[in-house]
Amino acid sequence: MSGVTKSQAEKDLMERARAVLPAGGFGNFTPDIVIARGEGSRVWDVSGNEYVDYLLGSGPMVIGHAHPEVIEAVTAQLPLGSTFFADSEPGIVLAEEICRAVPCADKVRFVSSGSEADMYAMRLARAHSKREKILKFEGGYHGMSDFGLMSLAPKTLANFPQAVPDSAGIPKGVRDDVIVAPYNDTDLAVQMIAEYASELGGVIVEPFQRLLPPKPGFLEALREATRKHNVPLIFDEVVTGFRFAFGGAQEYYGITPDLCTLGKVIGGGYPLAAIAGNDEIMAHFDKSQVGEEGFTFQIGTLSGNPVASVAGLKTMEILKRDDAYTKMFATGRTIMAALEEHLGRAGIAAKVVGVPPLFDVVFTDRDVHDYRGMFAGNAAMAKRFNGIMRECGILKPDSKYYIGLCHTEADVALTIDAIATAAEGLRKAA
């Protein structure tokens, strides 16, 4: 175990952060680390500790930090201007590329974050259907809006379809307009869509929910039921877009929704996200087509800004080269196999859940198909495991490995050594 030590400079920065930032951080990753720089698959903290990075900025740095081609594209754009609050060629070209790649995308509207994209997608679906309720799935993450923060990670497991707010400050009335179903329960989801069809403005789902792959037939049944009852189906692909395949999870699973949301990868590390969908629904962003009553108002100061657009375009260009997805899947499979091998050898009850580009361990002896299966995992053991991994120079979020094109054979070897050490540490502590 290499060990991680903190310099006085990093300790001082963390103290300064506590003075000016609630809980001492930005509200994202743990505030007990201050990153100084990143290059390729590695990051360094202010103390100089080096890590193999499976956090990847929570996903957008799929081709690695400070990629020279992205830097070149951004550097060429910066002297021309950073943002205009008007159309620009890079944003138009990026929209064209998204429409070519993503099956559901006839049109694209840019925003600056995945939270915005999800919020607008739900609003757009309600505008089109002229109905108000949204059906989502327990454990599904759809951003920081009031609707999105219902039953994301409820500590009290309510009866379906009751929604549970995940934050203070959400009006009680929001609960009445959110219907919650269990992910991967095909029969109940179809039943609930039929039961609430006359009130249902849209169904939003992560086609791959956090770490949970859809059971065979689940997405197909959602598509059939929503089409039968004329309810817009939204795929939240902020995470999965351009990660599972160039056309996202909808290409990977072969199911085309009415709308999708995109983020992370399409901005190449800069603030950019999008709503994409079919012409009929996206027309609600165009008052000349739908009139005042059907118009869905949307503006954003930085939406589609050219710096983010050129970074996203270059990232997407690189992902189209040289069997990028084959490489990422191979990397992920190797690490998943190592987790299963070493935890199994140590006699630790654990399930490796996910697909090769995005997965993690749930410490349980039960199969995991939905949020309640995830919730039942041993969170304390996961925290210990991740802590040992960090001490060994592996940086990852609490609940996933983001696999990137940037990860090398040397990274994988270091990761497997860390997994072996962490598994042995858990065995000794048992």
Annotated domain spans of the chain: 8-66+323-429, 68-319
pLDDT at site 4:
87
pLDDT(310) > 70? yes
CATH topology of domain 68-319: Aspartate Aminotransferase; domain 2 (3.40.640)
Domains 8-66+323-429 and 68-319 share a fold: no
Cα-based distances in Å from 22 to 17, 40, 58, 99 = 8, 31, 20, 40
Give the chain's mean pLDDT. Answer: 97
For 315-360, the pLDDT digits (tens) are 999 999 979 999 999 999 999 999 999 999 999 999 999 999 999 9
Superfamily covering domain 8-66+323-429: Aspartate Aminotransferase, domain 1 (3.90.1150.10)
Nearest to 411 by CA among 316, 332, 321, 339: 332
Separation between Cα atoms, residue 366 and residue 264, nearest integer Å: 32
Catalytically active residues, by annotation: 141, 236, 264
> What is the band of 206 on the pLDDT scale with cuts at 50, 70, 90?
very high
d(CA 250, CA 266) in angstroms, rounded, equals: 16
Indicate the pTM of the whole model.
Answer: 0.96
